A and B are shown apart, each in its own frame.
Chain A
Amino acid sequence: MTSLEALRKINARCIHCRACQYAYSNEPDREGDSEEFTGMLLSCPSGNLYAWEGYFNSGRMWIARAFLNKEIEASQEMLEVLEACTTCALCAEQCPNLIDTVEIIEELRAAIIEAGIEPLPKHKKFGEMVSDKELKNPYKEPRGERTKWFQGVVDNPDAKVAYFVGCTGAYRQQHIADKTTKILDKLGFDYTVVSGEVCCGSPILRTGMKPVFMDVMNENLEVFKDFDLLVFSCAGCYKTFRNDYVNHSGKELPFKVRHTVELAYDLISEGKLKIEKSYNKKVTWHDPCHSVRHVGLGIEKKILNESKNWLLDSRAATKAKEAHYNIPRIVLNAIPGLELIEMYRIKGDSFCCGAGGGVKAQFPDMAIKTSLERLREAASTGADVLMTSCPFCITNFNDGIKALKKEEEETGKDLSKLGSKLEVVELLEVLDELL
């Protein structure tokens, strides 16, 4: 189990070089198509917006150090600065000293709350609802209705594969949950959905309510312990299981975990799946921070943690991370007719949608402004479709487009260059249609 104190030495690696503020920080020679998108770019959602040093990771690392050294006391003001971060991990990807920036930020949030500071209002509500035995989700929906959408056999005792639906799939985007089960059917998986599933704890951990997170983590680990494989459609749930459950339980998971896009990738790579139907559209791909960057960084870190010689093994670790970043691209390129046009900031350097880390609920303006920046980048590719595979990215991009359309209506301007005409599409929906 980790803690802020346990991360003290990792935090102490920060020399305040500010490389973490930029995408492609170590690749400023990178060539883009335009002056706007070339070289390295300031790419911290909160830093870009608020501009004070404390809103960049580089400043947050020094707030953490001051707190660890008892130079600053926990306060509401401090929590507000800390919580205005999507925990996208772009900073972690850039850090030459390999600092676990997001873990430090999350642990600092937890330490502030542990010191007696109230969680921010929206986050506090999440915590209360996820703790509530009748709910166990942040949407205030009855726990008993969690699997209501599912047409198959719930708690099938013969299945060794479980689909971890997540709260958004179960209560808000049931069509994605439904599509996921159809994909699993088509791919030939014998799976079940589990009535004992509770919130994975992602929004709770991100916002510093660690005891609640530990409860739901332990509950899920108990409920799913006998399965061989857990499949996910939610990028956040997937990352939480794959990275955070291991870090916070201090144990390896008793089952394998895979996102549905990765399952498709596995079968495509093994030559067992060939997509025949076409999707004749120009598509640009947005990498969800959770399932792409965070998991990639987790892969790299695991290799290094097991290495006695980082000098020799770091290249292999980076390669493994980059192979993970390529997974969605391999799936997209396996779809006939789909024309993939990449944005400038991709893979580990991808710019966040703006919804993560509790920001969407507590800092809605920041979430929208961030999504608008990403939409503009997506529109600059000339693609018609902005594709991704994360319920929060989808929601936040659609909210951004709504804002653009509203402005178009009010001003009569054509904002298509900013992304107003983009169609936001979940890859899982497309896969279901094509399989």
Chain B
Amino acid sequence: MSNYNKVTDEVVKKLVAICGDEFVTTSEPLLHSYMARGIMGLEAELPEVIVRPSNTEEVSKILVVANENLSPITPAAGGLSGGFALPTIQPGGILMDLTRMNKMTVDTENRVMVVEPGVRCGDAWRIFKKRWPDWAPPIPDGAPPGATILGDAIERGFSLVTGRYGPQADMIIGLEVVLPSGETFRTGSWALDDAKAFYRWGVGPNPDGLFLGSQGSMGIVTKAAIKIIPHPHFKTIVAYGGDSWENIVGPAWEIGKQEMGVAENTVMVQGGNWPLVMTRWPKTNVPRDYEFYKKIGIDEYWMNSEVWAHSQEELDFALKRIDETYKEYEIKKNTKCPPQSLHPKQVASRLKKPNLIAVPYGLYEAGFLFITWYCPWLESAKMMEEYCAAMENHGFAPTMWVASIDHARQAIVMPILCFDSDEKGVFDRIREFNLETTKSFLKQGWINYRPDPFVHAPETFRKSKMYYKMLVKFRKVLDPNLILHPGRLAIPWASVTDLPNPLEE
């Protein structure tokens, strides 16, 4: 394991000199107040100091101090949108809270916005509503309003139009990155002095990919230029049921594969199963038998489409085509995909952005974890079947959510693992479940999105050894002292743990 140093009083003094006394703390209760275990990951270590820089220059200077002292450093802003923004090893080192960096500029001519790490989705949505009502920032859907646009983008997260545009990272046009050495540079056309961020691939080879999904371990992104999207005002939600995962995944593929026309209108396609409804409520205060849900009109499985259009006529046409596609699928597969009757309040709450649909699963048993996988869209049915069976085998409710990425090319499959965080041994049970499903899924060529450093990361890298070696090389070039967030991705393994390196076994 890397030999990091503890944060000393001298380091704290240097941080104070950079950011000001008001923006540096070692207060024990305040350190604890940043903690989180659950939802995106279970590993978290207490930071030793928290610092709140206000600009790129301060970020750069802090990195120089961290290098001098060999202190691990973890950048965080919303801390919610996919990256697990807490230290994962000891010593916890410096937690860099980037919420003060919250500037946003919008260029509607070139259809791009530039955001700092602290721009929250809710704030961006609010400001767009008044200033640019015909445009929308690509915020994550289902994430709380405190999640940040930049966090979601650099973690290749899920946006409100992912069904059409792909992962949020695909919306990026340029980045401003502070490397662990403290050097700052920009990517894309932005690399050119005075140029706007208008062309992602810029003046030469583009290193963006190293910083997207690296969870802050290659450099700290202090600005991102991201595409904005038209925000037409004719919108609705339609949902169709089915008797199996296959029969909700299939019709969505029939629509998505058209790529144009109606497939462009369906900006978001997502579905689930009936326990997705059940586990939003306390286990002791909700029926746990499907018969109840059947009676209130909830199919065992369903898929909904969020449809945006520039006119009522266009919206009606899109809805008609969607309906026809489902009917054609019913005939082709000799099955039933009944349209779901949605209460206007259900439609309104889904259309609201950002919304909290992914949050209330803490009620079921006082703890939950999203474990996210990507796979080709049509393979998602098999993954979900296997996943639900494994969840039940391990004593978890089979709560499952799925969404289409880029016209049903890929699926994001996300079991919501509800558990009682007070139950003795529950974390071992989760680990066993995770390990079993991970081994099976990796064999089938599916990819984990938010790796657990002790389950997904080693299992994945065991099957992608050359790729992993390249990542380690890049990491060591960019961050020779390995000070940046050496946690979740375990690049390199030795920065995280003294346990045997799975690649050398």
Q: Is B97 an interface residue (CB 8 A)?
A: yes
| Interface positions of B from 27 to 53, Cβ below 8 Å from A | 27-30, 32-36, 38-39, 46, 50, 52
Are A72 and B38 in contact, with the CB atoms below 8 A? no
Q: Which residues in A have their C-beta under 8 angstroms from that of B38?
A: 15-16
Q: Which residues of B contact A53 (CB under 8 A)?
A: 30, 33-34, 97
Is B80 an interface position by the 8 A CB rule? Answer: yes
20 A-B pairs within 8 Å (CB atoms) are namely A9-B422, A12-B362, A13-B362, A13-B366, A15-B368, A17-B80, A19-B146, A19-B356, A25-B122, A28-B122, A34-B130, A52-B25, A53-B33, A54-B33, A63-B33, A66-B32, A78-B28, A82-B29, A311-B278, A311-B281
Contact A12-B34, Cβ < 8 Å, known A18-B144, A98-B363, A311-B281 = no
Q: Please name the 6 residue pairs, one residue from A and one from B, whose CB atoms are nearest each other, closest first.
A: A39-B126, A59-B33, A54-B33, A18-B146, A16-B36, A13-B362
**B105 within 8 A of partner (CB):** no
Contact status B122-A39, CB under 8 Å: yes
Interface centre among A12, A65, A82 (most CB of B within 10 A): A12
Interface membership of A216, Cβ < 8 A: no
- How far, in whole Å, are A52 and B78 apart by their CA atoms in the complex? 13
Interface residues of B in 340-354 (CB under 8 A from A): 351-354
Q: Whose C-beta in chain A lies nearest to the C-beta of B28?
A: A72
User: 8 Å CB contacts to B: which residues of A71-85?
Assistant: 71-72, 75, 77-78, 81-82
Complex CA distance for A75 and B32, rounded to whole angstroms: 13
A248-256, A276-284, A302-310, A358-366: which lies at the B interface? A302-310
A39 to B127, CA, bound (A): 8
Q: Which of B33, B80, B356, B421 contacts A12 (CB 8 A)?
A: B421
A81 touches B29 (CB 8 A): yes
- Decide if A134 is an interface residue (CB 8 Å cutoff): no
List, in ascending order, chain B residues with CB within 8 A of A307's CB: 285
Q: Is B338 an interface residue (CB 8 A)?
A: no
Asked if B29 contacts A78 (CB within 8 A), the reply is: yes
Smallest CB separation, B286 vs chain A (Å): 5
Q: A52-B25, A66-B35, A311-B281 are in contact. Are A15 and B129 (CB under 8 A)?
A: no
Does A62 lie within 8 Å of B32, measured CB to CB?
Answer: yes
Apart from A13-B363, A28-B125, A38-B129, what 16 extra A-B contacts exist at CB < 8 Å?
A: A17-B359, A27-B352, A28-B354, A29-B125, A31-B129, A38-B130, A39-B125, A52-B27, A53-B30, A53-B97, A54-B33, A56-B33, A75-B29, A81-B27, A96-B359, A311-B278
State A121–B483 Cα separation when bound (angstroms): 43
For A71, what are the chain B residues with a Cβ–Cβ distance below 8 Å?
A: 32, 46
- Cα(A90)–Cα(B249), bound, Å: 40
Please tell me which one of the listed residues B97, B122, B146, B281 contacts residue A310 in the complex, with CB atoms under 8 A apart.
Answer: B281
Is B360 close to A, CB under 8 A? yes
Cβ of A191 within 8 Å of any chain B Cβ, yes or no, is no
- Closest CB-CB distance, A135 to chain B, in whole Å? 33
B287, CB-defined interface residue at 8 Å:
yes
Q: Which residue of B lies closest to A53 (CB)?
A: B33
A8 CA to B366 CA in the complex, in Å?
A: 9
Name B349's closest neighbour in chain A (CB-CB). A26
- From DSSP, what is the main secondary structure of chain A's interface residues? loop
B202 interface residue, CB < 8 Å from A?
A: no
Interface residues in chain B, defined as those with a beta carbon under 8 Å from any beta carbon in chain A: 25, 27-30, 32-36, 38-39, 46, 50, 52, 78-80, 97, 99-100, 122-123, 125-127, 129-131, 144-146, 277-278, 280-282, 285-287, 351-356, 359-360, 362-363, 366-368, 420-422
A420 to B246, CA, bound (A): 65
**Across the interface, do A77 and B145 meet the contact criterion of CB distance under 8 Å?**
no
Report which of A38, A39, A63, A304 forms a contact with B29, defined as CB distance below 8 A.
A63
A28 & B34 in contact (Cβ 8 Å cutoff): no
- In whole angstroms, what is the CA distance A15 to B359 when docked? 8
CA distance A41 to B130 in the complex (A): 14
CB contacts (< 8 Å) of B351 on chain A: these are 29
Contact of B146 among A17, A41, A77, A81 (CB under 8 A): A17
Q: Separation in Å of the B208 CB from the closest CB of chain A?
A: 28
Docked pose: A284 CA to B160 CA in angstroms: 37
A35 to B131, CA, bound (A): 8
- Given A12-B421, A35-B126, A66-B32: A19 touches B366 (CB 8 Å cut-off): no
Residues of A within 8 A of B355 (CB): 26, 28
| Cα distance A75–B39 in the bound complex, in angstroms | 29
- In the assembled complex, the CB of B215 is this many whole angstroms from the nearest CB of chain A, namely 17
Q: A18 to B126, alpha carbons, bound, how many Å?
A: 17
Chain A residues positioned under 8 Å from B28 (CB to CB): 72, 75, 77-78
Knowing A97-B362, A97-B363, A310-B286, say if A29 contacts B30 (CB, 8 Å). no
A35, A40, A56 — most chain B CB neighbours (10 Å):
A40
Minimum distance in angstroms from A159 CB to a CB of chain B = 41
**A17-B80, A311-B281 known; A62-B145 Cβ under 8 A:** no
